[in-house]
Structure 1
Amino acid sequence: QLRREVLQAQQASEQQFLQGAEAKLEQAVEQVLERHNIDVLVEPQGVLHSSTDLPNVTNEVTQIFDSLN
């Protein structure tokens, strides 16, 4: 019984953390998209070829994410 309650509490805590992290990530991404006037955001590993230079904004998104409360 106690083990199940602890597991449920842990799962609820993890879910709450993930929901907050998702909101922060969306906010950080939106700020970077607006700042650089980016219309399409793709993962670098997902691009096989591009005739234009695609900036990697991962570090900037991470910095903003870390600064959000």
Structure 2
Amino acid sequence: MSEVVGSAAVGGEKAAYTIPEFGADHGIGRSLVYEEIAAGRLKCRKVGRRTIILATDAAAWRDALPEGRAA
């Protein structure tokens, strides 16, 4: 059975990500996603047994990341 959480697109972006989708789309592993959630830097919600990250929470997390420095 395949559930599609991110099918409700808002302006071309997913409305919500599952943990594996968020990690894949942002280039990080599942364990780092869970670390960010545990540290309070990334908000998540539960839908039944599934953990999701809303697109607005993903954007807030990206905006809070430190800026990179040129080498």
TM-score (norm 1): 0.28
Which structure ranks higher in relative contact order (CA pairs < 8 Å, sequence separation ≥ 6)?
1
More strand by share: 2
- Structure ID, larger Rg: 1
More helix by share: 1
